[in-house]
Amino acid sequence: MKTKNRPPRRRVPAQDPEAAAGERTPDGPQQGSGLELAKGLRSRTVRAQGARAEGGHRRPGASGPGGRRENSVQRRLESNERERQRMHKLNNAFQALREVIPHVRADKKLSKIETLTLAKNYIKSLTSTILTMSSGRLPGLDGPGPKLYQHYQQQAAAGGALGATEPQPEGHLQRYSTQIHSFREGS
User: Which residues bind to DNA, rule: CB under 7 A?
Assistant: 1-6, 8-11, 13-14, 17-18, 20-21, 23-25, 28-30, 33, 35-36, 39, 41-42, 44-45, 47-48, 51-52, 55, 59-60, 75-76, 78-84, 86-88, 91, 111-114
Task: Identify which of residues 6 and 142 has a Cβ nearer to DNA in the complex.
Answer: 6
Task: Identify which of residues 114 and 122 has a Cβ nearer to DNA in the complex.
Answer: 114
Shortest separation between residue 20's beta carbon and DNA, angstroms: 3
Give a three-class secondary structure readout of the chain.
CCCCCCCCCCCCCCCCHHHHHCCCCCCCCCCCCHHHHHHCCCHHHHHHHHHHHHCCCCCCCCCCCHHHHHHHHHHHHHHHHHHHHHHHHHHHHHHHHHHHCCCCCCCCCCCHHHHHHHHHHHHHHHHHHHHHHHCCCCCCCCCHHHHHHHHHHHHHHCCCCCCCCCCCHHHHHHHHHHHHHHHHCCC
What is d(CA 29, CA 31) in angstroms, rounded to the nearest whole number?
6
What is d(CA 13, CA 79) in angstroms, rounded to the nearest whole number?
12
Task: Identify which of residues 29 and 144 has a Cβ nearer to DNA in the complex.
Answer: 29
Q: Which long-range contacts (CB under 8 A, 24 or more apart) does 93-96 make?
A: none
Task: Identify which of residues 17 and 145 has a Cβ nearer to DNA in the complex.
Answer: 17
Shortest separation between residue 25's beta carbon and DNA, angstroms: 5
Shortest separation between residue 83's beta carbon and DNA, angstroms: 4
Shortest separation between residue 183's beta carbon and DNA, angstroms: 9
Task: Identify which of residues 75 and 147 has a Cβ nearer to DNA in the complex.
Answer: 75
Shortest separation between residue 102's beta carbon and DNA, angstroms: 18
Task: Identify which of residues 116 and 148 has a Cβ nearer to DNA in the complex.
Answer: 116
Shortest separation between residue 112's beta carbon and DNA, angstroms: 4
